Structure 1
Amino acid sequence: MALSASLLLRQNQSLVMTPQLMQSIQLLQMTHIELVSFIAQEVEKNPLLEIAANDSDPGETFGSDDIASSQTVDSIESSHTTETVEWYGDDAPILNEALDTSFSNVFPDDESGRKADAPELLGQWKSMPGAEAGDYDLDDFVARKPSLRDHIAQQVPFSVTGLTDSMTADALLDHLDETGYISADAVSDVSERLGRPEKDVEAVLRVLQSFDPPGVFARSLSECLSIQLQQKDRLDPAMHAFVGNLDLLAKRDFATLKKLCGVDEDDLLDMLSEIRSLNPRPGAGFETGSCETIIPDIIVHPSTDGSWLIDLNPETLPRVLVNHSYFTEVSKLKPRAGEDGEFLSTCMQTANWLTRSLDQRARTIMKVASEIVRQQDAFLLHGVDHLRPLNLKQVADAIKMHESTVSRVTSRKYMLTPRGVFELKYFFSVSIGSSEGGDNHSAEAVRHRIRTMIAQEAPSSVLSDDDIVDQLKKSGIDLARRTVAKYREAMNIPSSVQRRREKKAMARMASA
């Protein structure tokens, strides 16, 4: 076969993952905090990007391509759901105004007086550092809540004397976690690090275990409870055997506990009541760090006509502006050719891409949220019992998008509804067949029903897994017994035997 050279023209289509396309996909998955951090980095690198304040002048714009202009999404054709959304707009109401909690509405006659009196009142703080210069912040003078380490460190000088013991106490304090416990090998670690015998470290540890709050510096739950009982002078041999066999208490094996402790049923109930009054996490009452509040990305509220209004939360949508005026002025001074011109063109392309990507991100979130609300209309009206089974494919087919896109949108995004704040993934649940041939049931709704049935059972008639299966079948839910057991264990609900023991014991305690 002879070899010859030839020219061929071939046309094909392929999807190329450009860096900007990958960045757009990452933007879709980012949370509000991650998005704000990313935009801040882009604004720092790009002189054409600006973040507009929420209270900026509505007439101030930077060009026709500015994504900050108000936009509206078409309403879904549904008899139950309509939605209108505005984002990146100067006139977009903030969340407080949308919920009608503005300060001016509450005190309409007093607001101007408060503003007028503010300089006079602040002028009375003569002792505040920087008061004359006006560069102070009242938050700098607010006392913070002490941490567990601070609380313990204040007690060390009063009980631990000597330089060596003080160093040992500080080393043990380094092993203290936020719940008030230390690891089981903390003593050996401190002994090896400081070169002291373990018995000397144990002696310092016993002193630290007498500190407030009771139970700190314990190496196990049993030791934590024993320390608290010892400080109450209630650690007798029976109680010592009780806290040494907490695994039997977790299994509700009260018969074995009575034999080990050598007490009757009434004494065991008293001991159980005393154990319940102790604190298994002595360090939980102290500040461990800042608590991040969940800010919903979507707000759903009922309309006057019985439908649902779906809005994107303006507080989670940063307003990014492209400064076209600055670009025009610099272009006049600098020629387009050369490094400066190339840098300026690159900045403009990046700025336009970012604003378009943010716009597309908002539209995609809106489409997914609107379809979820349309599918879960019964849940919003009647509660979790009416949560419908839903998967990513159903939503993706309805809005003509890929399942991976829907998965990224619903990841770590939250929706504020009249029923509370829920992650978007909460509305996706496995379908469970109906025994009567009707609509399928959501797995989350079935778990809620099982939890409710167990909570309402009487001590004399505790439901077994087979009983739960029969009651579910009567209500049209076809579920196997092993599935009921799996759901029950996932919700940390003990078996019927353990529940019967506990409910009977609690009933005797209540009657006593």
Structure 2
Amino acid sequence: MALGQRLELKQGQGLVITPQLQQAIKLLQLSNLELEAVIETELERNPLLQRDDSDPVGEGNDADAHAQAADSGESRELELGDRDTIAANSDLDASASDVYGDDEPVVRERESVVSDSNEGPMVDWSKAGKGGGSFDGDEDMERALTREKTLTEHLTDQALIAHFSAPEMAIAQILIDAVDEAGYMRVPLAEIADRLGCELALVEKVLTACQGFEPTGIMATSVPECLKLQLIERNRFDPAMAALIDNLELLARRDLSALRKVCGVDEEDLSEMIAELKSLNPRPGAAYGAEPSQTVVPDVFVRPDANGGWRIDLNSDTLPRVLVDQKYHAKVATSARSESEKSYLNDCLSQANWLIKSLDQRARTILKVSAEIVRQQDAFFVYGVEYLRPLNLKTVADAVGMHESTISRVTSNKYVATPRGVFELKFFFTSSIASNDGTSAHSAEAVRHKIKTLIDGEKASGEILSDDRIVEILKEAGVDIARRTVAKYREALRIPSSVERKRQIR
């Protein structure tokens, strides 16, 4: 067969993920904190973007209008530049276009993506502590001087007066940096010695000296070593106590008879030893200041509606407020001379418009998916976790007309504040457990709650329920569940077995 070249035309379909589409997908799965970091980067990079620092909620009649809208439970669409509250009821049956429009956004002089709930005016926390926000320089200095000393600073201060040589001080600083919030060494000493190019014996010598710092038990490599250091400081570390520390797993199982044999003591002495052990601090570093933990900020609020349904509002504090400066664009466009300058300016304008459109799409999608989840799990909000229904991504995706991957991205790292607490949106997706009477299936989360309720009621009834007995009770309630599933759920709830629970009562 002869080989040759020829030209052919073929027509086919394919999906090309453009950089703009990649950006929209990325924004969809970001948490509110990650989104704020991305917006800050875009504000620094794109001269046509600027933060909208205007008061999101007007005064006087405008504020009254917002309050009336909240009471009436009205539902409004999110529009670029619109500052009305986004609301949706859980019993919405409108089409997708009623909630999530496909119209192209119109770029205005002060174009912004904003949705304000009735929580009050938005506070721009990105300015706090930078001299232009709610904290001035004097307050920052006072806060820095009066804040609690961290564990690293406390240990460093002691290392400076420990008469270390220069090499030992360098090793001590590396060891201190490797201490976690609880006060334990989590990095192997051999790794530190290899990193610093020194002998392991020298690192161990410095660590031994550092373990004499306050608080007692600090920089231990394990819980038994931490307890040992505290007992030595109290002069209470004898062979019997050493045997007790080496067999903490027996103490955790409340196997007192085995402990008495291992320690070689009677029942009274063992009780005193256990009491002594309970007086120790297994987390010596927890008493010192650390970086403040980030409070979960909900992306969506769910409130009871006046009509008996549920009102869903986007949290305005988590929505970035950015706009395209059209005046600045017009001014710079007239002074652009070369084609490269005009191209750069057009690219900035295009990217700014696409970013605002992506933020608008993100807000609409979160609202739409949240409204559907609330509709599906309405019984949970009314009656509690026992009425949580089985729900998967496909069910929500089919209801809102989106792909399952989109629902997965929307519900990742997004939180909703409800009358029953703050939950991640993924909390409402639970697997199903079949019923033995042919009725609707039960949610796995609801079954776990029933198991916990049964075990919590053991003290009142005086009966310790085995896994087999729990299976029988659940089957009587219509839940078809296997014993191994009960054991798996019990272990996930960190509930010991029935044998260990009996020992705890003795």
In the alignment, the residues of structure 2 paired with residue 221 and residue 18 of structure 1 have an alpha-carbon distance, to the nearest angstrom, of: 52
Evaluate the alpha carbon distance shift between residue 271 and residue 20 of structure 1 in structure 2; reply closer, same or farther with a 3 A threshold.
Answer: same
Instruction: Give the partner amino acid of 1:473.
Output: K
Evaluate the alpha carbon distance shift between residue 305 and residue 450 of structure 1 in structure 2; reply closer, same or farther with a 3 A threshold.
Answer: same
In the alignment, the residues of structure 1 paired with residue 220 and residue 398 of structure 2 have an alpha-carbon distance, to the nearest angstrom, of: 56
In the alignment, the residues of structure 1 paired with residue 423 and residue 491 of structure 2 have an alpha-carbon distance, to the nearest angstrom, of: 23
Q: CA deviation at 1:235?
A: 2.3
SS in 2 for 1:306: coil
Instruction: Give the partner amino acid of 1:36.
Output: E
Instruction: Give the partner amino acid of 1:280.
Output: P
Moved more, 301-310 or 262-271: 262-271
In the alignment, the residues of structure 2 paired with residue 56 and residue 396 of structure 1 have an alpha-carbon distance, to the nearest angstrom, of: 33
In the alignment, the residues of structure 2 paired with residue 35 and residue 223 of structure 1 have an alpha-carbon distance, to the nearest angstrom, of: 43
Q: Would the aligned equivalents of 2:56 and 2:121 in 1 still touch at CA under 8 Å?
A: no
The corresponding residue for 1:289 is: 291
Deviations 1:25-63 (A, max 9, x none): 11111111222222222222222222101426979xxxx
The corresponding residue for 2:272 is: 270
Q: Would the aligned equivalents of 1:80 and 1:307 in 2 still touch at CA under 8 Å?
A: no
Q: CA deviation at 1:191?
A: 11
Q: Higher Cα Rg: structure 1 or 2? A: 1
Q: Would the aligned equivalents of 1:190 and 1:201 in 2 still touch at CA under 8 Å?
A: yes
The corresponding residue for 1:366 is: 367
In the alignment, the residues of structure 2 paired with residue 191 and residue 49 of structure 1 have an alpha-carbon distance, to the nearest angstrom, of: 49
Instruction: Give the partner amino acid of 2:82.
Output: S
Any residues of structure 2 matched to 1:281-430 within 5 Å, and which? 281-334=283-336, 338-430=339-431
The corresponding residue for 2:185 is: 182
SS in 2 for 1:390: coil
In the alignment, the residues of structure 2 paired with residue 269 and residue 460 of structure 1 have an alpha-carbon distance, to the nearest angstrom, of: 25
TM-score normalised over the length of structure 1: 0.79
Identity among equivalent pairs (%) = 47
Q: Would the aligned equivalents of 1:462 and 1:499 in 2 still touch at CA under 8 Å?
A: yes
In the alignment, the residues of structure 2 paired with residue 92 and residue 479 of structure 1 have an alpha-carbon distance, to the nearest angstrom, of: 46
Q: CA deviation at 1:378?
A: 1.3
The corresponding residue for 2:217 is: 215
In the alignment, the residues of structure 1 paired with residue 286 and residue 178 of structure 2 have an alpha-carbon distance, to the nearest angstrom, of: 16
SS in 2 for 1:330: helix
The corresponding residue for 1:95 is: 119
What's the C-alpha RMSD, in Å, of the aligned pairs? Answer: 3.8
SS in 1 for 2:373: helix
In the alignment, the residues of structure 1 paired with residue 166 and residue 90 of structure 2 have an alpha-carbon distance, to the nearest angstrom, of: 77
Residues paired across the two proteins, number: 461
The corresponding residue for 2:456 is: 455
The corresponding residue for 1:21 is: 21
Moved more, 426-435 or 340-349: 340-349
In the alignment, the residues of structure 2 paired with residue 346 and residue 191 of structure 1 have an alpha-carbon distance, to the nearest angstrom, of: 50
Q: CA deviation at 1:196?
A: 7.2
The corresponding residue for 1:109 is: none
Deviations 1:251-308 (A, max 9, x none): 3322211101122334323322332232111112222323212111111111223221
Moved more, 247-256 or 419-428: 247-256
Q: Would the aligned equivalents of 2:314 and 2:367 in 1 still touch at CA under 8 Å?
A: yes
Q: CA deviation at 1:152?
A: 2.5
SS in 2 for 1:25: helix
Evaluate the alpha carbon distance shift between residue 299 and residue 383 of structure 1 in structure 2; reply closer, same or farther with a 3 A threshold.
Answer: same
Instruction: Give the partner amino acid of 2:483.
Output: R
1:151 is the counterpart of 2:175 = no
The corresponding residue for 2:103 is: none
In the alignment, the residues of structure 2 paired with residue 201 and residue 8 of structure 1 have an alpha-carbon distance, to the nearest angstrom, of: 71
Instruction: Give the partner amino acid of 1:51.
Output: R
Instruction: Give the partner amino acid of 1:256.
Output: A
In the alignment, the residues of structure 2 paired with residue 360 and residue 174 of structure 1 have an alpha-carbon distance, to the nearest angstrom, of: 43
Q: Would the aligned equivalents of 2:115 and 2:319 in 1 still touch at CA under 8 Å?
A: no
In the alignment, the residues of structure 1 paired with residue 93 and residue 239 of structure 2 have an alpha-carbon distance, to the nearest angstrom, of: 67
Evaluate the alpha carbon distance shift between residue 11 and residue 201 of structure 1 in structure 2; reply closer, same or farther with a 3 A threshold.
Answer: closer
In the alignment, the residues of structure 2 paired with residue 5 and residue 260 of structure 1 have an alpha-carbon distance, to the nearest angstrom, of: 86
Q: Would the aligned equivalents of 2:90 and 2:374 in 1 still touch at CA under 8 Å?
A: no
Return 5+ residue gaps in structure 2 as ranges: 60-77, 101-110, 124-130
In the alignment, the residues of structure 1 paired with residue 154 and residue 165 of structure 2 have an alpha-carbon distance, to the nearest angstrom, of: 20
Evaluate the alpha carbon distance shift between residue 15 and residue 473 of structure 1 in structure 2; reply closer, same or farther with a 3 A threshold.
Answer: same
In the alignment, the residues of structure 2 paired with residue 368 and residue 469 of structure 1 have an alpha-carbon distance, to the nearest angstrom, of: 35
In the alignment, the residues of structure 1 paired with residue 219 and residue 490 of structure 2 have an alpha-carbon distance, to the nearest angstrom, of: 35
Instruction: Give the partner amino acid of 2:356.
Output: T
Q: CA deviation at 1:137?
A: 3.3
SS in 2 for 1:287: coil
Moved more, 161-170 or 19-28: 161-170
Q: CA deviation at 1:410?
A: 0.4
In the alignment, the residues of structure 1 paired with residue 194 and residue 350 of structure 2 have an alpha-carbon distance, to the nearest angstrom, of: 62
In the alignment, the residues of structure 2 paired with residue 170 and residue 42 of structure 1 have an alpha-carbon distance, to the nearest angstrom, of: 38
Q: CA deviation at 1:329?
A: 3.4
1:475 is the counterpart of 2:499 = no
1:67 is the counterpart of 2:70 = no
Moved more, 218-227 or 186-195: 186-195
In the alignment, the residues of structure 2 paired with residue 210 and residue 3 of structure 1 have an alpha-carbon distance, to the nearest angstrom, of: 83
Deviations 1:148-187 (A, max 9, x none): 12223333466x3464796365565455333222368538
The corresponding residue for 1:492 is: 494
